[in-house]
Amino acid sequence: MNNANNIMKQLPREQRPYEKCFMQGEGSLNDTELLAVILRSGTSGKNSLALAQEILKFMESSSYPGLMGLMHVSVQDLMKIHGIGQVKAVQLKCIGELSKRIAKAAARPQIVMNNPSSIAAYYMEELRHEEQELVICMMSDVKGHFLGDKILTRGTATGSLVTPREIFMEALRRHAVSLILIHNHPSGDPTPSPDDLQITARIYQAGELLGIHLLDHIVIGDQRYCSFREEGLWNTCTE
């Protein structure tokens, strides 16, 4: 470890990640330098910069190269990298989770229940990295205020099962008068499937009987979304 630290100290101050961040700001750091700051230390004979390079190299062999890989790789996989133990692996996974939560928190004040793009922005970072389908029920009160949401099901990579009963039990518990369904397509393509159309029609009809109105169904892909209302699919589901 001392050897690795000595190697780091031999670098000019402006090239050391901590000092560079302090002098030039965090935006000046490249991906390797950012990871090195988070890691804090390296391992025997390898400083934090070299260890960060090893991590990014490991990600290149995965389906999600670069920093995005941190959201998909497991703690166990990270621990396969020489110099990454359980503590560092957990720290790295928390970086990915933190970035998702920051993105979601930043988008929340912009949510407008009749604006699909604001809703898609709120859920995009959370859902576009998911490898399974999630179905989320988003609820609002009589004045259209966002009451909160609930993950109803977590399915396979090709589909998820959800019933109107599950949805409306949650809506009634929250005293919601309207709701929006959100789910993701792990393929990245948000084009609705025939099953998506069918379940939307069933939920809409059940909601009308209960006086809880389904306003939209939004499918999240990778940096893309499909709103049934915006795409003219709503009439198909509500006839």
Please say whether the beta carbons of 157 and 186 come within 8 A: yes
Cα–Cα distance, 92 to 128 (Å, whole number): 19
Non-local (6+) Cβ contacts of 145 within 8 A are: 113
Among the listed residues 72, 119, 86, the one whose alpha carbon sits nearest the alpha carbon of residue 230: 119
Over residues 42-76, the pLDDT tens digits come to 777 788 888 999 999 888 877 777 888 888 888 99
| CATH dotted code for 111-238 | 3.40.140.10
| pLDDT score, position 12 | 67
Write down the residue that tokens 């998911």 correspond to: 130
Q: Give Dmax over CA atoms of the chain in angstroms.
A: 73
Of the two residues 157 and 73, the one the predictor is more confident about is: 73
Instruction: Look up the pTM and report it.
Output: 0.69
Over range 197-216, report the average pLDDT. Answer: 92
Of the two residues 119 and 5, the one the predictor is more confident about is: 119
b/e per residue, 17-48, with b = 16+ CB within 10 A? beebbeeeeeeebeebbbbbbebeebbeebbb
CA 137 centroid distance within chain? 16
Among the listed residues 179, 132, 126, the one whose alpha carbon sits nearest the alpha carbon of residue 160: 132
Q: HSE (CB half, 13 Å, CA atoms) of 185? A: 19
Q: Residue 91 corresponds to which tokens in the numbers above? A: 């720290």
| pLDDT score, position 212 | 94
Over range 126-130, report the average pLDDT. Answer: 84
Q: How confident is the model at residue 105 (pLDDT cuts 50, 70, 90)?
A: confident
Q: Residue 186 corresponds to which tokens in the numbers above? A: 């792990």
Domain extent listing, the chain: 2-103, 111-238
Over range 193-216, report the average pLDDT. Answer: 92
Helix, strand, coil: what percent of the chain each, to 5?
Answer: 50, 15, 35
| pLDDT score, position 44 | 72
Among the listed residues 135, 129, 69, the one whose alpha carbon sits nearest the alpha carbon of residue 103: 129
Of the two residues 151 and 15, the one the predictor is more confident about is: 151
Over residues 4-25, the pLDDT tens digits come to 555 556 676 767 888 888 888 8
Q: Which helix (H) or strand (E) holds 210?
A: helix 194-210
| pLDDT score, position 156 | 65
Predicted confidence (pLDDT) at residue 84 exceeds the cutoff of 60: yes
DSSP 131: S
Q: HSE (CB half, 13 Å, CA atoms) of 139? A: 21
Q: Which of 117-121, 137-141, 183-187, 234-238 has the lowest mean pLDDT?
A: 234-238
